[in-house]
Each structure stands twice: as structure tokens, then as C-alpha cells.
Chains A and B, each alone.
Chain A
Amino acid sequence: MTVNSQIRTPLLQIADLVTRFGKFRALDGVSVEVGESQAIGLVGPNGSGKTTLVNTVCGLYPSASGSIHFAGTNLTGKRADIIAKAGINRTFQISKPFASLTVRENVEVAAHHARHPRDVDEVLEQTDLASHSRASASNLTAAQQKRLDLARALVMSPRLLFIDELAAGLTPNELQDVAAMLRNLVNDGVSLVVVEHLMGFLEQVVDGVYVLTAGQVIFRGPLRDALADDRVQEVFLGRNDSARS
């Protein structure tokens, strides 16, 4: 099963996206398609542009060229709140809670502005934050803050979620729980784009991967094939190893 074969009408269609920082092209013509209820992984070495892709699609950075279509609407260049209301949401590699609000208020404020808000308590339950709901968001651990990012996104009933390194720093048991939670989301009809370095974790969650390097997609397909691919290995293992082929 390739990434392609699953897609009939892609929910998200990113075409030839270019994002520049000065002259540097952090995204250099990236095309990605994500179908309904599909989970794809986004992998690549440090600095390859994974977070930049999330940031561009989610309205933090403007794109220099290319287009972003979601559920039949052109979201290219739209404001982040419009993108969020259209049904795209995200978590952050370095979480960004509202530090002066409580955990519950963090989720409530998103619910207030959502087009189709979910029940706040249910989302807190789902992300295992219910017992901290009255704590200040700034007093949470890093892992809890990442779950709070997720809760804030989930309460808005997104159709597509970008997950930027949720697994980093978790224990094996916690990893299992998070993987199961993400899989449940997909079963509930949410599409996922999961940025992750941990291949074992990705294997449990995603249907296929895109491999990014230097702002370009060099591979799309099942994770197993990616790991066996020469170019992908070269990118991940570095120049020294490429001599062996």
C-alpha cells in the first residue's frame, strides 16, 4: 500500500510550496497530499524543513510560492485563525501554552472560538489532563504541556492535525499510550501528519511517510520501503556511509 493508493480526493493538497528565510529556501518546492482519515509521517534530518512545513501550512510563515488546498478551499496565504477554523490544527515542537491561564482555560479559550467545539472536559479526559485542569499551564511538565497543545487543538474538532514531535522524551509506556491515542483519532476520522524521529513509534501510527531533506521531498511511500531506500539511508546516515554503496 503506497501513500498514493489511499488517496481519492486528498483532504490536504500542498503543491510546490516554497518558504524562504531571506535567500535560504527552507522549503524548496514541497508537494504533499493527505487523504481523509489518513496518517502520514514526515521524517528527515534536523533542519530539513519539517517544522517549517507545518508552520507554513498553519499560517505562521508566508509561502513564497506554491499552494495549499484543504477540503476544497484554497488556504494559501490565509490567516492562522481562518486555517484553524477551516479544520486544520497542530501541536508544537516546543509547546506554547497560554502560561497565565489554567489548563482548563487553555482548552476553553480554543473551544470558545471553534466553529464546532467539542466538550472541554471530554478532551481533557482524552489527553489525560483532567486531574490538572485547575493548575496553571506554566506548572505542567514538558510532556504535559505537549498534551495541552494537543488538547487545545482537539477541542476545535480538527479534520487534520499536524503533530510536531510529540513523542520526544517519553518513556516506552507513555509512547504506547500516545501511539494508541493517535491511532484512535485516525479511527475517528481525523487525518494526521506526524513529524517524528522515532521510527518505531511512527510505524505504529502512520500509513506512509514523506522523507524531507534540505527542503525537498526525496521519498514518499510506506515506512519500511523508506528505511530500505538508498537515498533515504544516505540522508539519515550521512556522507561517510554513502561511500559503501
Chain B
Amino acid sequence: MSLSARRRPAVDEETKRPRWRGVVSPGMAVAIPVLVFLVAVHVYSNELLLVDMAIYIALAQGINIIYGFTGYLPFGYFGFFGVGAYVAGYGIVHLGLSGPLAALLGGLGGVVVGAVMLPLFRLKGAYFALTTLAVGEALYAIVSNPSLTSVTNGPYGLNLAAVYSSGWSFGMAVGLAAISILAVVLIKNSRYGMTLRAIRDDPYSASMAGINVARDRFYAWLIAAAIAGVGGAIYGWAISVFYPQDVFDVTVSVFAIVFALFGGIGTIWGPTLGAAVLYAVYNVVGVSNPQYFQLIYGLVIVLLVLFAPRGLAGIARYLHEHRPFVRSST
């Protein structure tokens, strides 16, 4: 049996992890999506759809960071997105900032809102998820309030057409997706990632291991908030005219969460693939009746959380480990 003896088992006996995981290098997780986007923009005419898809990849990775690594699911994630769009819009309209600078300012806006929401981490599971939702809705109510028209332009939205630049906003969206994936790669392979997983597995044990649980969770939250803030800023810039309900839209949260869960949270590729596949499906089938998609995606969240918490990546691993035939290496 010299042939089979030479073949390395596909699954590491001790860790039970398939060996191919080490083969696709983490750098590819960033490089491949970027290349796909750069090619796609030349062969596919709907550039705004590509911008949206890149932003959703970033948002799904943001959810991956906060939910996948800490176990906190923020339904109100769209709040950061909306604040990012508005802070950037304010910077463009009132401070005369360029789009890219305004996008960074939008990220800062997300971080500030994230910092204000720190006390919510005392809440558990569903309470946290729902309270962030309430905060997102509250932010919408404030921004769209007619009495604040002089600051936010109230219900009338913002017009950023003066700084519109399709090339730049596309580049920024793809850049944001790349940075978000890179953030996940770095977190996953770092001490910080190990710390976050320890916190998610057992917060009290983690604190007895010397981990400042609240602080380290909070950093992950701020990273996720920054991603959504920049995402909202780029989105607003790319569509150039938007109303409060366009950016403070719970659909943004639902989509980002479904995409991340569907692909597989806690993994590097999962949220990227989940966003690419499901957002494409949505655009082929769903745009004409978006209300059904909210319903369907809501159901998908429930089913995934209950039956396939590791998403596509988990299913792929399961099939790999339980495959009926092992291909011979010869």
C-alpha cells in the first residue's frame, strides 16, 4: 500500500480541519475579488450594481467581524451606514471635501456612533440585536426630522451630484471591500483574533485568562462600524442623490447579515461569496419585487441560524468530511 501511504490524509487527524484550507493563501482572498471586479467593470455595463456588490461584500465582512468573532448580531448595522452617508454628504456639501476624504469622514462618523453605543454591550443576544435596531431607527428619525432641515436637509435628502465620479466611487468601493477582507484575514490570523474567539466561546473564561472582554469586543465593534460608515459614504457618493430612507434602511442590515450567514461567518471567504452570489441573485430575480426578498431573506436568516450556522463554508466542510468517495491521487 505504498501509494496510499504516501498520500497525506485530506483531513488533519488532530484538528479535523481539511488540509486544503492552508493551500488557498489568505492573500488570494483579497486579490481574487479585486481582480474579478476590475475585469467585471470592463465587461459589464451596470457599474452601480458592482459598486453596491463591493459595498455589500464589505458590509458582510463587517458583520463577520462583529458577529462572527464576538457573537453579537447588530440588526441596527444600517445606522452606521446611514450616518456614514450623511456625515460624508455634509462634508461634501458644507465643507467642500472631495469624495474620498468625505468617505473617510463617514467612517469616522460610524466610529463615533459605535462608541456612543458601547453601553448596549451589557445586553445579551436578542436584546442587543433589537436595541441596535431601535438605535438605527432613532438615527433615521433624527436625520429625517424636518426641524433639522438646516443641518441634515431633513426629509429632502442630499444631492452630491457636484462631486459625482463613477471611476472614483467604483475604485473606493472595491478598495473598501479589499480592506474589509484584509481586516478579517488579519484578525483571523492574529492574537487578537484568537482573543476574540476565546471571548465568543466563553466570555467569563476569557476574562479569567486576563482578557479585557468589554474592551476587545468594543474594538471589533468599532472596526465593523467604520466599515459600514465608509460603505454608506461611498454608496451615497455613488448614487449622488439620496433620501434618509435610502441609507437608513433596515434592508441594508438584513442583506449584510444574510450574505454573511449564507457564506459562513467566522470564515474569510464566506461573506465575500455570500454577498457576491446572493446580491447577484437579488438583482436578477428580486429587484422587481423587493418586498418578497425581505421576507425570503428574513426566513433565510432564521433557517441558517437554526440549521446551518456555518453557512456555505460549513456545508462545504461537512460535505468534504462526509464525502462518499475519496478520489485517488493517481
Q: Does A98 lie within 8 Å of B208, measured CB to CB?
A: no
Q: Binding site of A, secondary structure by majority: helix, strand, loop or mixed?
A: mixed
**Which of the segments B162-170, B192-200, B239-247, B299-307 contacts the partner chain?**
B192-200
The yes or no answer to B213 lying at the interface (CB within 8 A) is: yes
The yes or no answer to A59 lying at the interface (CB within 8 A) is: yes
Q: Does A96 lie within 8 Å of B210, measured CB to CB?
A: no
The yes or no answer to A224 lying at the interface (CB within 8 A) is: no
Q: Does B210 lie within 8 Å of A102, measured CB to CB?
A: no
Per-residue interface assignment for chain B, residues 7 to 21, with 1 indicating a CB less than 8 Å from any chain A CB and 0 otherwise: 000001011100000
CB distance from B67 to the nearest CB of A (A): 14
Q: Does B202 lie within 8 Å of A135, measured CB to CB?
A: no
Q: Do A98 and B15 form a contact, CB below 8 Å, given A105-B194, A114-B210?
A: no
Complex-state Cα separation, A102 to B206, whole angstroms = 15
The yes or no answer to B283 lying at the interface (CB within 8 A) is: no
Q: Does B210 lie within 8 Å of A113, measured CB to CB?
A: yes
Per-residue interface assignment for chain B, residues 193 to 219, with 1 indicating a CB less than 8 Å from any chain A CB and 0 otherwise: 011011011101111111111000000
CB distance from B165 to the nearest CB of A (A): 43
Per-residue interface assignment for chain A, residues 115 to 148, with 1 indicating a CB less than 8 Å from any chain B CB and 0 otherwise: 1000000000000000010111001000000000
The yes or no answer to B191 lying at the interface (CB within 8 A) is: yes
Identify which of A58, A89, A109, A156 gathers the most chain B CB atoms within 10 Å of its CB. Answer: A109
Q: Does B198 lie within 8 Å of A101, measured CB to CB?
A: yes
Q: Does A135 lie within 8 Å of B14, measured CB to CB?
A: yes
Interface residues in B70-97 by Cβ distance below 8 A to A read none
Q: With a CB–CB cut-off of 8 A, which chain B residues contact A152?
A: 205, 208-209
Q: With a CB–CB cut-off of 8 A, which chain B residues contact A153?
A: 208
Per-residue interface assignment for chain B, residues 177 to 194, with 1 indicating a CB less than 8 Å from any chain A CB and 0 otherwise: 000000000000001001
Q: Does B210 lie within 8 Å of A110, measured CB to CB?
A: yes
Per-residue interface assignment for chain A, residues 76 to 109, with 1 indicating a CB less than 8 Å from any chain B CB and 0 otherwise: 0001110111000110100011111110011011
Residue of A nearest to B207 (CB): A80
Number of A residues contacting the other chain (C-beta, 8 Å)?
A: 36
Interface residues in A37-91 by Cβ distance below 8 A to B read 58-60, 79-81, 83-85, 89-90
Interface residues in B1-33 by Cβ distance below 8 A to A read 12, 14-16
Contact of B15 among A92, A96, A102, A112 (CB under 8 A): A102
Complex-state Cα separation, A59 to B209, whole angstroms = 12
Q: Does A98 lie within 8 Å of B212, measured CB to CB?
A: no
Complex-state Cα separation, A101 to B200, whole angstroms = 11
Complex-state Cα separation, A29 to B42, whole angstroms = 75
Residue numbers of A with Cβ under 8 A of B are 58-60, 79-81, 83-85, 89-90, 92, 96-102, 105-106, 108-110, 112-115, 132, 134-136, 139, 152-153, 156
Residue numbers of B with Cβ under 8 A of A are 12, 14-16, 191, 194-195, 197-198, 200-202, 204-213
- The 7 A-B residue pairs with the shortest CB-CB distance, nearest first, are A113-B210, A80-B207, A110-B209, A98-B201, A134-B14, A96-B205, A81-B207
Return 16 A-B CB contacts under 8 Å, by A number: A59-B207, A59-B208, A60-B204, A80-B204, A80-B207, A83-B208, A85-B210, A90-B208, A96-B204, A100-B197, A101-B197, A102-B15, A109-B198, A109-B209, A110-B210, A112-B191
